[in-house]
Amino acid sequence: MARLILLNKPYDVLSQFTDRGTQGARATLSDHVAVPGVYPAGRLDRDSEGLLLLTDDGRLQARIADPRFKLPKTYLVQVEGAPDAAALDRLRQGVALNDGPTRPAEVMAIDPPDLWERVPPIRFRKSVPDHWLSLTIREGRNRQVRRMTAAVGLPTLRLVRWRIGPWSVEGLAPGEWREVVA
């Protein structure tokens, strides 16, 4: 039976078990998950937080990570600025990026979610408002959500992956994980 682990990846942790970088020791998944034989099903940038799925099954990993399967990924995104109807419509229609247009996203403005504190906290500027979006995509290009929001004039300040398909990070503190039935 395949193992599937839901991890709430903290900010500033690499989505890999070892650090092959030259920048000194950086936090990795091995600092949080001591389960042999599992590996990430997809990636989450070092400066992003939230749900990362780990599995020991190659077919399950492919079903989760491969864009052909169009598994929805929902992010809670704190953006700089105030999203207007035009910016949200552009995200819903798909945004032109330098590597081609994105698929349409599901997006809506939301009240600030009840999340854990980020360490370190995001920068705060009195003169520039910030707002939260719930954004769901069905592809997974490099830094895609950040590039999409920037393309519509709303730079991302904080990015939390909340859900992948039926699995959610709800109830897990940063660095915590639980095993579920795949």
**CA of 105: how far to CAs of 26, 95, 96, 133, 147, in Å?**
33, 9, 12, 12, 13
Name the residue among 149, 179, 139, 166 with its Cα closest to residue 79: 149
Beta bridge partners of 131: 79
- Ranges of beta strands (E only) in the chain are 3-9, 39-40, 49-55, 73-80, 96-97, 100-101, 106-110, 130-137, 156-164, 167-168, 177-181
The answer to whether residue 111 is catalytic is: no
Q: Which of 12, 19, 45, 56 is catalytic?
A: 45
Tokens of 4: 């599937």
Task: Give kind and range of the element (H or E) at residue 14.
Answer: none
Task: Give kind and range of the element (H or E) at residue 89.
Answer: helix 85-93
Can you tell me which residue has the tokens 């193992």? 3
Catalytic residue numbers? 45
